[in-house]
Amino acid sequence: MTTTVTPPETTPAKESKRPRLPKSARAGGTLHGGPIAYAILIVFTIVSLFPLVWTAIAASRDNQRLAQNPPPFWFGSNLFKNLEIAWEDANLGEAFLNTTIVAGISAVTIVVLSTIAGFAFAKLRFKGRNALMLIVIGTMMVPPQLSIIPLYMMVAKLDWSDQLQAVIFPSLVSAFGVFFMRQYLLQALPDEVIEAARVDGASSWRVIWHVVFPAARPAMAVLGMLMFVQTWNDFLWPFLVLTQTGSPTVQVAVAGLGRGYTPDQSLIMAGALLGTLPLLLVFTIFGKQIVGGIMQGAVKG
């Protein structure tokens, strides 16, 4: 993608074949960016990355240094010490384990259920299909905040507070996932393939297992990643039902660092850094795929 820069010699030859167009006609994808475009992008990139880099810088200093002017611009020597203390203080070891469990279960379940439901909405005919799909889309518009009070009562009644299932179950409802998979399967799975499997006598479950899952694999990966990120970063609900000392998720644990009696800023930054690091690593490694997935989902959405 980044290597398809056409050498300048070939451009005139190409243009002579096509009808002569004014230069402005080649907007939208074919025009090379000028220095101003690069300058804006670089500024934007710096703004995007600076707070993260500075988190690491602040985490590598100590509280005293952060209470001085000018603020530090380069790394100090306390990074690993602070990370270690933050890890201990915020109960981050358990928090990471908990969050991985919650986000993992939630992402896998959402992906599987959404693929199956999305397949039904995209490819099967049944009574009430359109009405049900409208309901799915409608539920996307309802903010989850509106249901937290009864959910909280349910959790209290079931005695689930500070237990992971209190966070897992409500997170399994994802209308977005159903919509996302439906949009993908509408295009990616030709009707003939399903027909062929039917003709061979495959039941609907076999069709799902042998035809739909293989065809949907790329979208399932993207959806899984999006859901994992979303659950990993979820704050309000875990904050209500989990406590820092009980079984926190990473966000609850990190937020707890900032509410200490004598907040040590460098420790808070170390915690913030630790809470973000795993996802940043994933985004660095799979960045291209994630970007592609979000953009694909956007067009089809």
Partner 1 sequence: MATRHDTAALPSKGGAAPGRPSKGSAPMDKDQRRRAKLSRRWQRDMRWSPYAFVSPFFLLFIAFGLFPLLYTGWASLHQVELTAPTDMSWVGLKNYTRIFDDEFFWNAAQNTLTIGIIATVPQLLIAMGIAHILNYKLRASTFYRVAMLAPYATSIASASLVFVLLFGYDYGMINWALDFVGIDPVDWQGEKWPSQFAVSSIIIWRWTGYNALIYLAAMQAIPQDLYESAALDGASRWKQFIHVTLPSLRPTILFTVVVSTIGASQVFGEPLLFDANKGASGGAEHQFQTLGLYLYEQGWVNQHLGRASAIAWTMFAILIVIGIINQLISRRLRASS
Name which of residues 166 to 185 contact partner 1 (CB under 8 A).
169-170, 172-173, 175, 178
Count of residues binding partner 1 (CB under 8 A)? 118
Of 37-45, 78-86, 184-192, 214-222, the segment contacting partner 1 by CB under 8 A is: 37-45
Q: Phi/psi at 78 (nearest 5 deg)?
A: -100, 10
Alpha carbons 263 and 37: distance in angstroms, whole number? 42
Sites for partner 1 among residues 133-162 (CB under 8 A): 135-136, 139, 141-154, 156-157
Q: Which of 52, 28, 94, 83 is nearest to 243 (CA)?
A: 94
Count CA within 13 A, CB hemisphere, residue 99: 30
Q: Closest separation between CB of residue 88 and partner 1, Å?
A: 18
Alpha carbons 208 and 227: distance in angstroms, whole number? 22
State which of residues 9, 13, 125, 192 lies at the interface with partner 1 (CB under 8 A). 125
Q: Closest separation between CB of residue 10 and partner 1, Å?
A: 14
- By the rule CB under 8 A, 220 interacts with partner 1: no
CA angle 139, 234, 81 (to 5 degrees): 170
The three-class DSSP label of residue 148 is helix
Retrieve residue 268's tokens: 């808070």
Helix (H) or strand (E) holding 35: helix 35-59
State which of residues 11, 15, 49, 217 lies at the interface with partner 1 (CB under 8 A). 49
Of 8-16, 74-82, 100-108, 229-237, the segment contacting partner 1 by CB under 8 A is: 229-237
DSSP structure class, residue 259: T
Of 78-86, 183-191, 214-222, 246-254, the segment contacting partner 1 by CB under 8 A is: 246-254
- By the rule CB under 8 A, 70 interacts with partner 1: yes
Retrieve residue 277's tokens: 């690091």
Sites for partner 1 among residues 263-292 (CB under 8 A): 263, 265, 268-269, 271-273, 275-276, 279-280, 282-284, 287-288, 290-291
Q: Closest separation between CB of residue 79 and partner 1, Å?
A: 15
Of 8-16, 74-82, 192-200, 215-223, the segment contacting partner 1 by CB under 8 A is: 192-200
State which of residues 7, 14, 17, 299 lies at the interface with partner 1 (CB under 8 A). 299
State which of residues 114, 183, 244, 247 lies at the interface with partner 1 (CB under 8 A). 114
Angle in degrees, 0-180, between the axes of helices 92-123 and 265-300, rounded to the nearest 10: 10
Q: Which residues contact 206 (CB under 8 A, 6 or more apart)?
A: 197
- By the rule CB under 8 A, 213 interacts with partner 1: no
State which of residues 11, 15, 41, 214 lies at the interface with partner 1 (CB under 8 A). 41
Helix (H) or strand (E) holding 124: none
Alpha carbons 121 and 108: distance in angstroms, whole number? 20
Do 30 and 18 contact (CB within 8 A), yes or no?
no
